[in-house]
Structures are given as structure tokens and as C-alpha cells.
Amino acid sequence: MVMVRTWIEPVVATAQLSYSFYDTGLLMVVQGYYNRTNSTSNSSSEDTLQKSISNFYIIYNLLTKLTPFLSAYIVTKLGDKIHKKITLCLPLTGYLVSTLIFLFLILWDWPIQVIFGSGAFIGLTGGFPAFWSGVMVWASLSSSESQRSIRLIANECVFGIAGFAGSLISGHIFNDLQFGNHQGVVLVTCSIIGYTLCLIYSICVLRIPCSKESNITSSASHENKDKAIPESQQDNIEYTESSSLINAQSSESLPDKPNNVSRKSPVSKVLIFLLFISAALYNSSVNGAEDVISLFVLKEPLRWGQVEVGYGNAAAYMIFVTSFLGVIVLSKCFSDLSMIVIGMFSFAAGIMTMAFVSQSFMFYIARVAMIFSLIPVPTIRSMLSKRVQESSYGNIFVVLQMILSVIGVMASAAFNAIYQVTLHWFSGFTFIVIFIIAFISFIPIRCKLSKVICELRAVRRNCQQVSTLAVDGGPTDRARLPGNVALQCRLYQNLHSCIPEAHPLAVPSPGVYVNKRESPPRYTSGSIYCVGYSGLDPVDPLQKVQACVMNKWTAPYCVECMREPRTLIM
């Protein structure tokens, strides 16, 4: 029961359902308002109506997406220092107050411009960037590193399904259920009830999850105290030439205390910068593509009606489900970086196909090609969470979300402008531009992938050069053999002895020992110091290599492998 109370998914589903009600009601009310206004001024043409609605949403979107630029960071800081529920409750309060203002606008016939004030209020309370960063922090804390990508994409899936259900239901509620002469009152009231339930659940039911890594650290520390190797036995250890070779390399980076088991590897600012750039470019491509597609299907060559548009929207929402299932399946065979690349190529193939769509069946072929297109951004968030301390989750996620929001607004406006200019001579030209941007977003990821591949090849070369270095210490010219090369070879040669990730403190079999002339120590599950090997960069996609040394013994090193036994996981 306690574990259920840490689930953030009910908040995500209810909040998105409530927002779908609000969004549909706002569109209908704005359309009705400008219909009346334009008919009064004798300019009721369809083009004038569309222009008025478009101008309204340009201002509204700028207010809701740009005003959180500073406030979201402040809200997240308060959440990290005071209470993590602040990043959830404060934005939800902003949405609730804004929906109440919208209800009063319908009941009392206020000017539609009042919504601009409510949109600014949403931004001042943190808005979507603060709320979604809070959701990502919650999901990260309640999942282990190996399951984090699945947990983050699961929230995206819940978000998409709730939005799909809300979009289907909201139109019927708006048209069929009325309160007096005011359309939309029942729909907006349902939205208010949903946000209220979210706040009650967040304040009274939701509990802050305990980090999986923290639990491992505390249990490891406790176990180390109970099972430490006695000093009397340590004094009897005979250090040989082969054992001192690796101990010389490891002693520089070994911690003095066992509570460093779960210490994160040093944060690479270059890596974080590359991931931010890649996520921003890719997310702007995906969001911009969806905005253009919503206009593309209404014009030639498709010229869809309401029924076809509904089917098209359903196909778009199904990508949330297929991406979630894709992460579950692909995570068993591929690393995080590989899944990001697969998702990017899935979107690139689909959007290039969309550029040449001339019939409805081709549209759905393009959608099928995009089935994994929502994998990259949640997986990038997962990679970032593995590179920073838990106390920095809020900061890293809110900064990323603000960057995504700002660049998304600018990219959407740019893509729409390009579509309007090129509509008459090639309506699919915008999709080619989006394809180019998506391809550029792959370049930072490829930089990281190239670095990891080069490191893996270097390890292989070193191991080939010193192939005579057997596990039990064969004849070799150790005067010319750097310590890190010896350790790399040891790690590379013993990948078949992977330790299951579920048991990170497990001890390898006796055959893995560097010096087999010595029998394995009696206390093989004693104090274990796990440190990231400094000679390699232990980051996704090849995850991490941990050199585990028991009380600085004769080097019973072990390799923590993830999912591919034949691949060096760094």
C-alpha cells in the first residue's frame, strides 16, 4: 500500500484529462466569441475568423509558455530545498485558479481577453515546465537506473492516453450537456473537479518515494560493517607481482569508506550540453511536425473532414503506446543511447514519408514509421538523471523543460510560417525542413557514440597487444605495461562473468581472480568498494564499468554488465 502511494501516474492522468477538458472548452468559447464579434462588425468571413482565433492563441501560448521561464526554476528550487510536493502542487493550483476564472468568464460574459491574465497566472506558478519536471523527479526517485527509461516513458504514455480520452469525451460533453444558455459550464466544471482531485491526492495521499540507489547504499554499508574482513587475516595476505600491478592503479581512485557504493560518476558538462542540444532540436522537430500536420490534413491533397481528422488524431496518440511498448522490448537488447538513435531514425523516416503523402493510406504508413518517435526525449531525461545527484534532479529537469518550451514555441512559429509560404507550390516542403532538423539533432548523440566506440576499440587493441597477460598472471613485459591497460584487459577478458545488476554487490566466481595461485578469501561477501573506473567514461550507452575491490585485496575485480553479455558496458 505504501508503494502504491508513491505512484505519480494518477496525478498525470487526471491533470491531463482536466487540461483536455479546459483546452477544448477554451477553443469552443473563443470561436463563439469571435463569431459574435465579427458578425457585429459585418466581417464574418471564415478567413477573418481563423485569423482572429490564430492571433488569440499566439498571445495565449506566448504567455503560458514564456512566463514560466523564471518562475519554474524558482518553484523547483523551493521544491528541492523545502518539499518536493511544491513542484506539483503549485502548478496545479495555477491551473485550478485559471480554470475557475474561465468558468466565471462563461457565466458572467467577461471579455475573452481575461484569459490572457489567467494564462500569465499559470506561468507565474511554474506552469507545465515546473509540473512536468516534478513528475520526472518523482518517477526518477521511484525507479532504479535500469528501469528508469521505462518508468519515464510510462508517464509519457499515461499522459498521451489521458489526452486522447479527454479529446474524445470533451466534445460530446460540450455539445450535449449545458447549464442554462451557457455552453461549456459542465465541461469546465469537470476540469475544476479534476484539478481539485489532483491537489487533494498530491497533498494527502502521495508520498515521496525513497530512492532505489539510496536503499542499496544503506544496505551495502550495513552489510560491510557486519562482514568486514578481520585485520588478522589481512595481515597474512601475500601480495604478488601480478596483484600489485592492478592494485597500484586502483588504490588511487578507491574510496576509504564503503558508503560510496552508489556514488555517481563525475558530471560531464560536455555530455549534458550535448544531450540538451539534442533533446531541444529533436523535441522542436516533433512538436513542430504535429502542428503542421494538423493543418496539412485539412488542405490539398488530403482535405480531410471531421471523421478523418479524428482517426488521424487517434493514430497520433497511439504513438505514445507504441513508444512505451518499444522501450520495454528494446531496453532488453539495447542501451539507452541505442534506443535514442532508433527513436530518432523512426521519426526521420516517418516525417520524410509524410512530405510526399498524397493519399490517406500513405499518411498512415508515415504514422507507422513513427511508432518509436517518442522514445528519445524521455530516454535522454533518464540518461541525465543517471549523471547527476538526486538533489539536482529538479534543477536539471526544469532547465531542460524550459529549454524545450522556449525552443518549441519558436520552432512551431517558424515551421508554420514556412508552411504558409510553401503551401501552394509544395505542401510537404516543411516536413523536409523538419527532417533536416531531426537529422541535426542526431549529431550530438553520434559524437557521444563515436567516443564510446573509440574507447571500446582501444580496449580491444590493448588486450590484443598484451594477450599473453592471462587471468592468472602470464609472462609479459610489465615494465612497458601501464596499469590501466592491465585493468582494461582484465575487464575485457572477463565479460563472460557478468554480475547481474539486481545484485550489484555479488562476488564473482574464483576463476575471475587475477591471481589464481591464491585461494579466494574466506569472506567473499565482505566490504566491497565500488568505484567508477577512471580510465573509461562510465556513461550510457554502454552504461558503466565498476571495478569492485574488497578491502584492497589482491584485486578480485568484477564487471557490472547490463543486458548484452558480449558488449562492453561503460
Among the residue ranges 27-31, 228-232, 441-445, the one predicted with the least confidence is 228-232
Cβ–Cβ < 8 Å for 372, 282: no
Residues 437 and 360 in one domain: yes
- The grid coordinates listed for 242 are 601480478
Q: What is the residue-averaged pLDDT of the chain?
A: 71
Identify the domain boundary among 446, 478, 493: 446
**Pair 293, 405 in one domain:** yes
Q: Are residues 348 and 304 in the same domain?
A: yes
Residues 142 and 48 reside in one and the same domain:
yes
Cα 84–Cα 75–Cα 194 angle in degrees, nearest 5: 70
Q: How far is CA 3 from CA 10, 207, 210, in A?
A: 13, 9, 10
> What does the pLDDT look like over 376-421, one tens digit per residue?
998 888 888 877 777 777 778 888 888 888 888 888 888 888 888 8
Asked if residue 531 is part of any domain, the answer here is yes
- Over residues 257-287, the pLDDT tens digits come to 333 334 444 456 777 888 889 999 999 999 8
Within this chain, do residues 67 and 192 fall inside the same structural domain, yes or no? yes
Do 319 and 343 meet the contact criterion of CB atoms below 8 Å apart?
no
Higher pLDDT, 117 or 456: 117
Residues 519 and 434 reside in one and the same domain: no
Cell of 569: 558496458
DSSP-derived secondary structure for 313-346: HHHHHHHHHHHHHHHHHHTTTS-HHHHHHHHHHH
Structural domains counted in the chain: 3
Q: Does residue 457 lie within any of the structural domains?
A: no
Which amino acid makes up residue 31? Q
Are 270 and 134 part of one and the same domain? no
CATH number at residue 56: 1.20.1250.20
Shared-domain flag, residues 501 and 394: no
Tell me: the pLDDT tens digits for 330-352?
Answer: 888 888 888 999 999 999 999 99
- Residues 205 and 337 both lie in one domain: no
* CA 339 to chain centroid: 12
Confidence of residue 422 (pLDDT cuts 50, 70, 90): confident
| Residue numbers of the domain that contains 269 | 264-446
Do 117 and 250 share a structural domain?
no
Name, in order, each residue with C-beta under 8 angstroms of 64's C-beta and a sequence gap of 6 or more.
Answer: 119, 120, 122, 123, 127, 128
- Rounded Cα distance between 513 and 509, Å, is 8
406 & 514 share domain: no
Note whether residue 234 is domain-resident. Answer: no
User: What is the model's pTM?
Assistant: 0.65
Do 132 and 167 belong to one domain? yes
